[in-house]
Structure 1
Amino acid sequence: MSRSVRNGKRIRGSLIAGVGVLGLTAVAAGCGAAETDKGAGDKNVTLLVPSWVGAEANVAVAKYLLEEELDYKVKSQQMDEPVAWDAIGRGKADAIMEDWRGVPKKEKQYIDQKKTVVDGGDLGVTGHIGWYVPKYFADAHPDVLDWKNLNKYAKDLRTTESGDKGQLLEGSPSYTTNDKYIIDNLDLDFKPVYAGSEAAQITEMKKNFKAKKPFISYWWTPQWLNSELDLVEVKLPAYKDGCDKPVEKTKCAYPNTPLKKFMNKDFAENGGDAAEFLKNFKWSTEQQNQVAQWIAGDGMSAEAAAEKWVKANKSTWGKWMP
């Protein structure tokens, strides 16, 4: 989508329109004591949206179905994962539908210690972060796909922002990544340079592709843009359990991360049909990418994209219904 992984995940920057600062401020400011007693008759649901379009796709479809099929009123608010965990843990929101396990301290605080957040089940999508180059660059220089050869190409990947080092293109500075430590611990002649957001990173990547310019970027799957840009992952040292602990010692690849949903415990137990529906919500990478592409690639509104998907996929969402 923290768009870090549990053993190296991310918190991604903003691409989502219309769910912005006012909503985030209201929830963050109210994160004091927990809300009380959500009953099965409560027809209001608050869903939090991490700031990348795949997460927006999840919430768009869930919101549409909750409102149109189950007669709930759904409020969606954009929020980075650390703040989202506070909101859910303190009863100011009901659920987050895509978590990349990037804030383990928050998980421990609210699941193990305060016991106010519970696992809402798998989303059905597995996330992976890595370093990627365009295929045209890999075809011309096949050995670039082995991290041991990256320094050989640092000079080809320099930019005005990276100075005398190769540039590793990043998204938002709010993403939790291991890249600085990987670079340092593998003695790579590179520098992370932040585009500022997922949208800005995509713009930069598309511009480079059009010009057939070489670049290397922090990137992830699932991501709708992968159907448009042919990217190839650079092989970093294989991930092994614990190889990124402590994070300052990381010198390995990111793991594959099954993405999960988390809920406020009171909502999970007393949220009636809405809670049951969200627990049942499970779709594929391809389905998420399709809705995300309609939103970010084709410029559809989230509601229109959700409606389009729902009308064509009753065999999938029908199984989510209470």
Structure 2
Amino acid sequence: MKIRNILGAGAALALAISSTLAVAADKPELSIGYVDGWSDSVATTNVAAEVIQQKLGYPVKLQAVAAGIMWQGVATGKLDMILSAWLPVTHGEYWAKNKDKVTDYGPNFKDAKIGLIVPEYVKANSVADLKTDESFKKKIVGIDAGSGVMIKTDQAIKDYGLDGYKLQASSGAGMIAELTRAENKKESIAVTGWVPHWMFAKWKLKFLEDPKGVYGAAETVDNIGSLDLAKKAPDVAEFLKKFQWSSKDEIGEVMLAIQDGAKPEAAAKDWVAKHPDRVKEWTGK
């Protein structure tokens, strides 16, 4: 009897696994582009991928690319979606070039913001203050070249007459390393940054005021799909219309877990398991 029960349980498990594989085999693999150095992009993309795989049954492939290539990929259909489109200002140039080649399914995060960020202990309060504050050594630490905040910072250097200032291209991780060193020594530093980001939970930071409006007002981070996504995966298209973080604290939970050492996919899986009601709001499952 025990042997028969074990065999029966094994058969049931094999059937369940084969059924799951069959569902996945019936559905096309979906590709999502993201920027590896952007903590919000990593968190949002991994959570969405986990939900799409677990609840909607599609295999998902994540592709880490630069911002420009990310937009080009979804516009040409090489990527099925991106969840890191900062609009209307940060990625305004990318949107202008590709808006007729993609579908905007709406924001996954509202009240996003970019700009120059400094520690609260520095005297500077405005971008204009950098012109006369020698403690910054005429350097702004940036992220990957070509990203929206870098393009706007090049413009800010011109518009605010920051003669002699150099915008140092780096990466998200490189920028954080520089910020960490400055914070430890209580030195002045200006970095290109954004909200949502876990660094605001770690240090006391502030955005430099931008009276000329170079960086724009609050933005949204949108879900963008290829033109054929709605036909290829209609239930995923519907999910993208509903997938939205409720606050910076909600996405912050995932970002902090990753920053504290969890692998992105593990942090996403854990978040999905802990928030079934939120997942159901997005998928109905």
TM value normalised by structure 2 = 0.81
State, as a whole percentage, how many aligned pairs show the same letter.
24
> In structure 2, which of residues 107, 121, 126 is the aligned counterpart of residue 122 of structure 1?
107
- 1:286 aligned partner: 249
| SS of residue paired to 1:218 | strand
Cα distance in 1 for residues equivalent to 2:222 and 2:239: 15
Compared with structure 1, are the counterparts of its residues 254 and 110 closer, same or farther at alpha carbon in structure 2 (3 Å cutoff)?
Answer: closer
Q: CA deviation at 1:50?
A: 2.3
Q: CA deviation at 1:124?
A: 2.7
For the aligned residue pairs, the C-alpha RMSD in angstroms reads: 2.1
Q: CA deviation at 1:135?
A: 1.1
- 1:135 aligned partner: 120
Cα distance per residue 1:221-250 (max 9 Å; x no partner): 1111110011122212142xxxxxxxxxxx
Q: CA deviation at 1:190?
A: 5.0
Q: CA deviation at 1:55?
A: 0.7
Cα distance in 2 for residues equivalent to 1:80 and 1:131: 21
Cα distance per residue 1:250-299 (max 9 Å; x no partner): xx34332111111112112441322222222111322222211211x211
Alignment pair present for 1:71 and 2:57: yes
- 1:194 aligned partner: 168
CA contact (8 A) 1:88 1:95 kept: yes
CA contact (8 A) 2:34 2:62 kept: yes
Compared with structure 1, are the counterparts of its residues 67 and 185 closer, same or farther at alpha carbon in structure 2 (3 Å cutoff)?
Answer: closer
> In structure 2, which of residues 228, 241, 248 is the aligned counterpart of residue 266 of structure 1?
228
| SS of residue paired to 1:136 | coil
- 1:55 aligned partner: 41
- 1:157 aligned partner: 136
Compared with structure 1, are the counterparts of its residues 281 and 148 closer, same or farther at alpha carbon in structure 2 (3 Å cutoff)?
Answer: closer
CA contact (8 A) 1:168 1:190 kept: no
Alignment of 1:70-219 (within 5 A): 70-101=56-87, 102-112=90-100, 116-137=101-122, 141=123, 144-153=124-133, 155-158=134-137, 166-176=138-148, 177-194=151-168, 196-219=170-193
CA contact (8 A) 2:85 2:91 kept: no
| SS of residue paired to 1:69 | helix
1:227 alignment partner AA: A
User: Gaps (5+ residues) in structure 1?
Assistant: 1-40, 159-165, 240-251
CA contact (8 A) 1:180 1:191 kept: no
1:202 alignment partner AA: I
Q: CA deviation at 1:195?
A: 5.2
Give the length in aligned residue pairs.
Answer: 253
CA contact (8 A) 1:237 1:253 kept: no
Q: CA deviation at 1:305?
A: 0.2
Compared with structure 1, are the counterparts of its residues 124 and 185 closer, same or farther at alpha carbon in structure 2 (3 Å cutoff)?
Answer: closer
Compared with structure 1, are the counterparts of its residues 126 and 277 closer, same or farther at alpha carbon in structure 2 (3 Å cutoff)?
Answer: same
2:135 alignment partner AA: D
Q: CA deviation at 1:219?
A: 1.6
Q: Indicate the structure with greater helix content.
A: 2
CA contact (8 A) 1:49 1:79 kept: yes
Compared with structure 1, are the counterparts of its residues 224 and 274 closer, same or farther at alpha carbon in structure 2 (3 Å cutoff)?
Answer: same
CA contact (8 A) 1:43 1:71 kept: no
Cα distance in 2 for residues equivalent to 1:275 and 1:266: 10
Compared with structure 1, are the counterparts of its residues 145 and 121 closer, same or farther at alpha carbon in structure 2 (3 Å cutoff)?
Answer: same
CA contact (8 A) 1:88 1:94 kept: yes
